[in-house]
Amino acid sequence: MAEADRSRGLGRHLLDQCLFHAARTGAPRLTATTDATDLHAPAVRLLSRSGFTPVDTLAVHHRPGRPAGPHNP
Amino acid sequence: MQSLTMRGFRRSDRRAVLALIAADRLPGQPRPTATALVSALAARGPDGRPQARALQPPVTEILLDERRRITGVISYALRPYDDAGVVLWAHAAEDPSTMAVLMGWARVRLGPDRPWYAFPGIPATGTTEGLAGSRRPATTHALRTTGFTAIAERRYWNRDLRRNPPTGPLPRPLATAAPQHGPAASCSGSPERTALRPPKPASTPRTAAPPTCTAS
């Protein structure tokens, strides 16, 4: 949602329509993902208040490389 | 000492591999299909696009136990532009020792000293990128004990519409869907005219008069 349009209920309105459409067309469930950073706190609140439950946290993992050296060619 | 065998994926392994993938589904994720597996074997996502950028052709290998049963599968690739190894997907019914073998095998095959990424994209057999930490504890443990750390995290949410259907009247005005162009498309004008357009007569084509949107 654009910054200027936040806190106006637009997200809730759109999400409610999405829920209605999904239920009406026979979808058994609706899933969503949000960024885990604080930037997405409004989206987290919106989903929580709309009956969504957090299932899990999904993570991309990284392991840095080891530079080549005399003991690590 | 168990006698374990790693070998390349074969077409005849499909059923067992699909079962391993299905066992790791999150609520809401579709049951993996043979078609989706073919895409996943080519490192492609559900939309057919590459799961990660600029990869060499991926290698998918399976682990057999001493009774020649398939206990794990891992798909990995080399990414030449940053010389990184990439674990695209791996499944082993969350058996810690099996997952440790799979991860160790991939690292040895591509070189243990190169940088590594794991679960960076959306495999065709799933709908989310990243590894589910709580539901995949053995896989998460296998990564952490070999020096991996989480670098990007997302939360996955679910709403069961059969147990918890929406109630009350359909919220109005109805929003209409319109294509957005570009990765950072934005709408201009008042939200009433763009995001929340009034309902149209049934005869109006859905593509007519899209909201005022510009790509930036």
For chain B, what is the mean pLDDT? 81
**Could you read off the pLDDT of A22-62 as tens digits, one per residue?**
998 999 999 999 988 777 788 899 999 999 999 999 999 99
**What pLDDT, on the 0 to 100 scale, is given for residue B3?**
85
- Whole-angstrom CA distances from B154 to A18, A32, B4 are 21, 10, 35
Among A2-16, B20-34, B152-166, name the one with the lowest average pLDDT: A2-16
> With an 8 Å Cβ cutoff, is A58 touching chain B?
yes
Smallest CA–CA distance, residue A14 to chain B, in Å, is: 7
CB contact under 8 Å between A62 and B130, yes or no, is no
If you search the block for the tokens 């209409």, which residue do you land on? B176
A55 touches chain B (CB under 8 A): yes
B11-40 pLDDT, tens digit each: 999 999 999 999 999 988 888 999 999 999
Q: Is the pLDDT of residue B193 over 90?
A: no
Global confidence as pTM: 0.79
- Phi then psi for residue B118, to 5 deg, are -135, 135
Q: Where are the alpha helices (DSSP H) in B42-154?
A: 96-110, 137-144
What ipTM score was computed for the predicted complex, to two decimals? Answer: 0.86
| B177 DSSP β-pair partners | none
Q: Is 70 exceeded by the pLDDT of residue B181?
A: no
**DSSP state letters, B3-32:** --EEEE--GGGHHHHHHHHHHTPPTTPPPP
Are A56 and B25 contacting, i.e. CB atoms less than 8 angstroms apart?
Answer: no
Distance from CA of B127 to the nearest CA of A (A): 10
A14 alpha-carbon distance from chain centroid: 16
